[in-house]
Amino acid sequence: MQRIKLFLASSSELKEDREQFEIFIYRKCKAWFDKGIFLHLDIWEDYMDAMGENGLQSEYNKAVTGCDLFVMLVHNKVGKYTAEEFEKAFGSFKDNKKPFIFTYFKTPYTTQDRADLQSLWAFEDKLNALKHFKTEYKNIEGLREHFGNQLEKLGANGFVEFKNESTQAPAAQNITTITNTATTTGNGNIIIQDVTGNDINITG
């Protein structure tokens, strides 16, 4: 069983989209399970509100650097913790060629808060400088369709290794043949053999 770890980063404003994305990954996991693939999704709601040795954010960052796919959802702003998670993911990618990074911007934005918009524009500028291009989506259906296609492409490129059911050896079958021969003398005898091959001799 190949385990693919995903980390989903986003601000609290996209709670509904995160929930729908989690449902989508769960359904994809069920569809791929018989092919030998298990999709494990981490979102920040999964973690306890307890401080780790170096703070709770350090636990998120640890999950980010240990994942295979990093997915980031952005709408009206980019909070400092979400930005920090992206930095961790990108740094890990430069060093280890993983995780693969996907950034999704929900459009159009719906805020007039100048500080929020500045954080959004600054992050867009960062992506442009890194030559990492964003993907826009308008609703959860568009997000599911695009990311689902990306998963299929990863499978086609060998990153996801599907189990080839046609090459599996058939299950071994134990077949035992028992041959028993019974003999008797005299007339009017009846011989019955039970399933273990024992003779039952009834003399008339």
Per-residue pLDDT of the chain (204 residues; tens, 9 = 90+): 899 999 999 988 999 999 999 999 999 999 999 989 999 999 876 665 554 555 667 778 888 999 999 999 999 999 998 999 999 999 999 999 999 999 999 999 999 999 999 999 999 999 999 998 899 999 999 999 999 999 999 988 888 777 765 444 445 455 444 445 455 555 555 444 444 455 444 444
The sign of the dihedral angle between the CA atoms of 21, 22, 27, 33 is positive
pTM of the model: 0.75
Structural domains in the chain plus CATH codes: 2-166 (3.40.50.10140)
Taking the C-alpha atoms of residue 87 and residue 69, their distance in angstroms, rounded to an integer, is 14
